[in-house]
Structure formats: C-alpha cells, structure tokens
A and B are shown apart, each in its own frame.
Chain A
Amino acid sequence: MTLVAPFTEITDVSGSSSADSRFVRRLLRRPQAVACLVYLAVLAVVAIASPILLPDVAAERAGDLADSLQGPSSQHWLGTDSLGRDVLQRLLVGSQDTLIGVGVALVVVMLLGIPLGLLAGYVGGRLDRTLCWIADLVLSLPAMVLVIVVLSVFSQNLVAAMVTMGVLTAPALFRVVRAATLPVREQLYIAAAVVAGLSPSYIVRRHVLPRIVGPIIVQLSLLAAGALLLQTGLAFLSLIAGPPAPSWGGMVADGVGVMFQQGWLIWPPGIAIALTVLALGLLGDAVRDVSTEGWSPKRSPSRSTKQREKKKGADAPAISVDDDVLLGIRNLTVSFASSGGNVRAAERVSFEVGPGETVGVVGESGCGKTTTALAILGMLGHGGHVEDGEAHFAGQDLLTLSERDIQEVRGSEIAYISQEPMVSLDPAFRIGWQLEEAVRANTPLRGADAKRRVQELLEQVQLPDPTRAARMYPHELSGGMAQRVVIARALAGEPRLLIADEPTTALDVTMQVEILELLRSLQRDHGMAILLVTHDLGVVADICDRVVVMYAGEVVETASVADLFARPGHPYTQALLASNPHNQHAAGMLPTIPGSVPELGAMPPGCRFLPRCTQSTPACELGTIPLLQIGERHESRCVHAREVRST
C-alpha cells in the first residue's frame, strides 16, 4: 500500500459542517422554533432601532397630561400612562435596556460557564472537584439579593447588576457543560483521537464542543429568560432604569400604581415580558428536542401502548390446546412505528413450548427474537404493536387479554428476566423489599409468610448469605449475584413459564456456567418451562431441548437440539454453525456468511436469506417461503430443506 495514492477521481470536499447544518435544518423544520426565532429577531431589531427612531422618548418626563391614563385608541395604540406618555413608544424604547441587560448577563455566563465546564468535564480529577465545589457554592447564593447588594453600592447601574447576575448564574451553565462533556469524554472516538496524538484543544473544539451545543443553547435560553425576569424585576423595584427612562418592569410598576384608576396599563408590559420569556423557553424546548432526536435512539412520545384490536385471522388454524403445549405461538406478526412507516420486526412467527421444556430462540441482533418474547407478555412498549397472530397459554390467547388481565399473567404465570441484571432492579430499594413486593403481587402470602418466602427464594438461587443479601441494595451486588436476585424475583409467583432474554450475555463465561446450572436445577425442581432467547449456539447446546432459529424477523427453522446440530435443515443454520470459531481448525480462513442481515423494512422478496445463501436456485425468489415439515417436529423455511438437511 502506498501512502500517497494517485489521483483517480475528483470529488467534492467532504462536508464536516453538514452535521451542524442538519441540526439547523431540523430546527427550522419546527414551526414552534421558527416562530420563537422570528419573534426574538424582531425584538432585537426593535431594541436597536427604536431608540434611534424615537430619540425623545427615553428622556420624556411627561406627555400631554390632559390625555393621561387613556386606554388604546387610534392615536395611542396602547394608550397613555399616568403622565400622558404613549405606552407603545415607551414599550419599544424600553426593550433596549431589557435586551442589553440580558445580553450582558449571557456574555458573562458564556465566558465563565463554557470554558470552565469543558475544562472540568474533559480534564476531570482534582480540578473538576474544585470547580464543582465552587460552582455549588455560588449556586447556593440567593442571586437577586446579592444583585441588590451590588446595586446598593453602584446605584442604578444596569451593567454592574447584570454582570453580577451573570457571575452568579454561570455555574448553572458550567454544570450543564460539564455534565454534557463527561459522557462525550468517555466515547471511544475521543480515545481514538487521543491515540492519534491530536491535541486536547483540538479534541475539545472538534469532537466535544459540537456534541454539546444543544444542551448549551437550551441552558442559555433558560438563563436568558431568568436574566430578563431579573432585569424587569429590578426595574419594577426602580433599582435600575429610574424615571424617566422607559423600562418594561418600570411600566408594570407604574401600572400597579394606578391600578384602581386604569387597570389596562399593566397588560402591555406584562405581555411583552411574558411573550419574550415564552419565546426563549419554547426555543430551548425545541432545541432540546432536536438535539436529542438526532443522536439518541428513537423513542416515540406516546405515553401508553394501544390496546390491540382483537383480530381473528381465518387463515390461522386454531391450535389444539392439548396438554403437551404450554405456550403456542401462531402467526405472530409485530410491527413498530418508525419514521418511514411501520416496519415488521417479527412476521408469522409460530412455535410451541411444552410444559417443563426448554426452548431456545436463537438468532442475531434484529432478527425479532426479543420482540417476540416481549409481545407474548404484552410489553412491546413505545410504538410497537401486534398486527396479527395468537399466543395461547393455559387456554387463553394472551394477545387478546386486556392490560389488567395480562397483568395477572405476568409474574404469576409467566415471568421474565433480561440481559442486564444490573438495570433490572430498582436502585432505590433493598433486595429483600423488592422480592417481598413480587411475592405479595403474585401470591396470597403476606407479612411474616411473605418474608419467609423471600428467604426461601434467595436460598433457591444459591446466594451465599441470603439474610445479608436481603438487606443489600442493587448497587452492592456483582453482576452474577444480581442475576440470581432477578431470577429469584421471577420465581416469586412460581410461574409455569420463564422467559429468559439473553440471561447470561452480560456475564463472564465462568459466571454463565453457574447461572445456566442454576436455571437447569430450578427447572428440574419446579418443572418450569423456559423460553431462552440467545445468540449463542453454545448456550443452546448446553441447556435447550428444542430450538427456534430466527432470521430477519422470521422463524427459519425449528427442531430438537439433537436434530438441529446433527442435521441442520436451513442454509442459514448450517452457515451459522460452520462459522462458529469453535468448530474451526486453528489455521486457515474462517468460513463466513457474505453480506449482512437485511434491514427491517428492506426485506428481499422471496427467501430473506437468499442474498447471502450459497445454495440458492431461482425457486428461492418465488414469493414467501412457508415453513416446511422436514422431519419429526423439524421444520425449515427453505425450499431445498430436504437436500440441505442431507448434506
């Protein structure tokens, strides 16, 4: 490889600014943000222009006294004050002092808050602790009181007052900048930049600052609103902008003075202040929405999940509710709302779990395995809904149950444990309390009986010192211990089915062995069925009786564990087994599956594995492939399943 390559193609310069322009464009797409920006821009123009165009207003001591305290009229659009001066003119000219005050405070806040916040967040350590201590100190001062102290010395001095305000509120921006810098600092691209030998100032300017502009603007808009309220408050108290100078706060004070004679006068300045504060606040909200939507995974704001309409597909044969099926999934289709319309995360998923059986659902990320598990429990959450299908459990279709009825099933009939034990427990409550709550929610046991049951559960999951563990908080547990506690909670209602979603993925292998061992023994002792969601074929081989292989939202193969590993009936399963590093010789290239999993919403027609399959024929492109029976309780979604199986 040569370092300097010949010019082969001339293309336009890569745009590093396009991220920022995308931000601005997204902001301008919001009417709320545009309205606020327009209002603030007009206000700025007024503040600059009106004192020039109306030079006499600022020093006007009195207008036409005979014409005082008038309501709005064609001559005086907003009426006149107690000295007969035009209210509109005073409102326009008065905006200058207000905006100067806000501007001064903001400049001071930014000069102090941004550099110190970046410094504390990026450098960390002792410097960070010291700066935080000072910030907390300053923030716990009553700002308005200190500003008045300053004004008692520097009478009527707007700039002195607003500089003081800026210094006293800068820690609020400092804290936001620091808090926003900390997570960015931990990003690996910062580490990569450090390794590349880039200077700290370059890294802060190019990598950190652009990522935290959003929170800075949000905080600045809030601080601007606060400064405006302070400035008008001080003018209201005539601590600044004494007569005859027009000011919004002073005009409210004038209005209060003549409230009994003319109630109108407090409205115009009040509305001007409120509108400006509102514009700043709404702008801040819009900026925050835009800056979080850009980087974080999409979360729709819908507050509740929609109750799915009961739908009976005629094509779906009602499954026989016999004794050897505990959970029967038929034709389950789940979709999620996304920016580009609905995408199906799981389609026509069908499988069964027998009583006391362990069934593994195996597949790669995004194949729909977790979606399927959550749909069974009615826990799809934001934007997800079941389009079609049935989930029969103990004689009822779980998917048609009301929220109240499915709650009865959760915990006492079907329990759920997830990949991350550390975030599965409420950090604010002791382990014992949380387990007791689960016992009370899922069994009739109360009081001492419930406590005894908690003790029993902790013993069942083989925690070394159950009494001590009950008194601990989640943060005091290791990952393995936390997963045992989570399992104990799942067992509280003696469920007939445990859905375990990647229960060992976050744990070390030696810990994984212990948790799998625990699950095995619990199943032996309680006859509980387990639906184990995993990406690891080794875990499947270790603990499962039967396997459901999923790919791109579909079930591609179901088989007993022995069958699946000995005679896989789908090219995807075959390829997955072949590319497992464990099955390889030390030397030589690993067999790979070319390409990558198709994205949701962009599924190829025909077989979804077709673009990556080495055994495909034109028949594979023809329409949706059904699940084919290829052996005893062995199904495959491949038109060539029988040939594949025999290879």
Chain B
Amino acid sequence: MKTMNSDEQVLAVRELTVEYPQGRGRDPLRAVDKVTFDIAQGETLGLVGESGSGKSTIGRAILGLVSPTAGSIEFGGQDITRAGNRERRALSQDLQVIFQDPYSSLNPSRTIGTTLAESLRLHPELSKGQVRDRAAEVLGRVGLPRTAIDRFPSNFSGGQRQRIAIARALMVEPRLVICDEPVSALDLSVQAQVLNLLSELQREFNLGYLFVAHDLDVVRHLSHRIIVLFGGQVMEEGPAEAVYSKPLHPYTKALLDAAPVPDPVLQAARRTRREQLPIVSGAGQPAGCPFATRCPHALPVCHSERPTMEVTPAGTSVACHRWRDLNSVPTLELPDRKISHAR
C-alpha cells in the first residue's frame, strides 16, 4: 500500500507562517507558525492536530485560499507563495484538492458532468464529447456509474459525493492532492471504502497526498510520514509508524491517549493510566512551547523558551525541552504501544 515510487520532490514548504487579523487594536492570530516540510512524488504526508492547530490553514495556504504572512511554498521547483490567478490556473493541472464536507464542495445546482468539466476548462482543444468521456472514465475509476454525469449532487449519498470530489481532482492528472479531512464527515462503514480508494489511486497514478486530519488512527493508515501540529507549530514529525507507535512528544501522547479505542478492556487500562497524570488546562498563549499551558510535564523553561526540533534515535524529530528525560532516552527502550489485541 505505502510504496513510494520516486523521490522526486513535489512540494517544499519553508517556515510557513500565516496570521489572521483579529480586528482593530488586537494582535493578529498566528494560525501557522514557521512550519517546514517537503512532499515527494507518490508520498503521503499526514498533518494531524486538533481544531486551531493550523492544519487546515496550511492546506489552504498551499492552495492559495489564504495568503501566507511569511515563509515560502515551492511546487515543482517553482515559487508559488503568492501566485496570481494565471499561475494558479496553470498550477491547477498539478495541484488538486478534496475537501472535508462533501455537501458543500459540489455546487448543488450544477450536474456532476458540468462540475467535472470545469477542471478541463484550460483545455479548449478538447471537444465536449471528449470532456464527457473523460468524466465518465474518471467516474468509473472512482466506482460510480457513468449515468452519474447528468445527475445532481442531491442524488448522491455522502460517500458517493466524496467519490465525485475525488473524481474532480483526478480529471486532470495531478501530482499532488490536498486532502482536507476527506473522511471525517463520512460514516464509519464508508470511511474505509474512501481511504482504500485513495490509496489505490495513489499507487496507480503515483499521486502525492497532503492528508490533513484530526484523527491519528486514520492518518497513519495512509501516511508515510506524519507531522503533529499544536497551536500552529510542529510538535513532532517522522515516519508514520514511529510517530504512532513510539510518540516522544507529550502532546502526541496525549492525542493518542485521548482517542478512545473500541475495546473496553484496553480502554479501561488507558483511562487508569491517564488518570494518574495531573489535569492541566490553562488558557493563553505562552511565549515558549504552545502546549506548555496544557502539558502535565511543563517546566518554567517550557513557558518561556520555544523548543528546537531535535532528531531522535527513532528517526523522528521532536520539539520538546523534556523529550529526553520523559522518555529516558537513550538508555531505556521505549514501551511498545502496540498492544497485542490489534495484531
């Protein structure tokens, strides 16, 4: 499933910072704070975090839907940080998107065919029939009948609409698709279908994905690498399995521990372990680590100094003042999170 077909770099994001104005007399809200990452051809990078972590903003900045305050975004070697309408149009052949809400992402008053044909407006050389055939072909690939072309979005269920949204992204042959919470609005029994479809398509067309989600369980399935965000900053990043099974940052651990697992015995054990940690829930934006106000292990230094990214023996990078002593690195082997029942 997760095989990278090439190492060719598609996207390079450097120290990306996005600020939202908050009205007169108030400091702008820093939604994304100096985030750096790359995505290679055929690779999936998972961006994980809770609301307000800046994960969706990063996707929107790459797509040109919000303009970055600082930093740079390069796509295929070309700087697109502040690309204009014309550059965006050319770029849309390589960069596509799948949004979270399948109900709002399709214009309800236009047929599926019209919506799909819109992606090919840059190809005036194609006849109407060709565009239609292409639409039918792509619909077939995502598992929908070609008769869908003349129907309206209201005729389809959430899962089917998300397939249509995927088809729209595939109308051109993109190199990178931004997937902004593509399955979180879907029912559980349909989620797996869409996730499987996405990974099949990745293999088939060597697509790169930026997979934005709040659920680490979902993200690790599709991702080669994972970035964990909090308060607009990168907390931890690295190979998906390493981040998921051997998290070193207290926030990553908290995130993993918080998601309840569908197993009463295991869940009870996790709850007992969590109850031993002091509950900290402060407000405000500390000058140092953004997680400091909620971190059970925070020291004064965490509130005053922003930690630097450090490479760990597990191959991950972590931004935490205490990652070494909290995880007893390097002397002790980390406890394995992969508890037997799932295997």
Contact = CB atoms under 8 A, between A and B. Distances in A.
Interface string A372-398: 000000000000000000000000000
B133 A6 contact: yes
A513 B50 contact: no
A295 B108 contact: yes
B173 A1 contact: yes
B106 to A, nearest CB: 6
The bracket for how many chain A residues form the interface is: 35 or more
A191 B187 contact: no
Contacts of A14: 111, 113-114, 117, 132, 149-150
Contacts of A537: 188, 262
Interface stretch (B36-44, B119-127, B306-314, B317-325): B119-127
A131 to B, nearest CB: 19
A196 interface: yes
Given A189-B107, A579-B192, A512 B258 contact: yes
Interface string A579-620: 111111111111111101100000000000000100000000
Given A195-B88, A583-B342, A510 B152 contact: no
Q: Which of A12, A516, A581, A612 has the most CB of B within 10 A?
A: A581
A4 B130 CA distance: 7
A514 B257 CA distance: 12
A191 B217 contact: no
Contact of B189 (A539, A575, A583): A575
A188 interface: yes
B249 interface: no
A123 B315 CA distance: 45
Contacts of A594: 193
A188 B150 contact: no
Contact of A4 (B95, B126, B263): B126
Contacts of A19: 109-110, 152
B329 interface: no
B79 interface: no
A378 B97 CA distance: 43
A596 B157 contact: yes
A197 B217 contact: no
Contact of B262 (A195, A510, A580, A588): A580
A565 B294 CA distance: 33
A587 to B, nearest CB: 5
Contacts of A6: 133
A191 B126 contact: no
A407 interface: no
A10 B110 CA distance: 21
Contact of A579 (B65, B129, B189): B189
Given A7-B133, A16-B114, A510 B255 contact: yes
Given A191-B99, A195-B96, A510 B258 contact: yes
A364 B188 contact: yes
Interface in B259-274: 259-264, 266-267, 271, 274
Contacts of B328: none
B74 interface: no
Contacts of A584: 221, 342
Interface in B161-193: 165, 168, 170, 173, 187-193
Given A15-B111, A194-B88, A584-B342, 17 more contacts: A1-B173, A4-B130, A191-B105, A192-B99, A196-B118, A199-B85, A207-B107, A364-B187, A365-B158, A538-B262, A541-B261, A541-B263, A575-B189, A579-B189, A581-B191, A583-B342, A593-B192
In order of increasing CB-CB distance, the 4 nearest A-B pairs are A197-B89, A538-B260, A14-B113, A19-B109
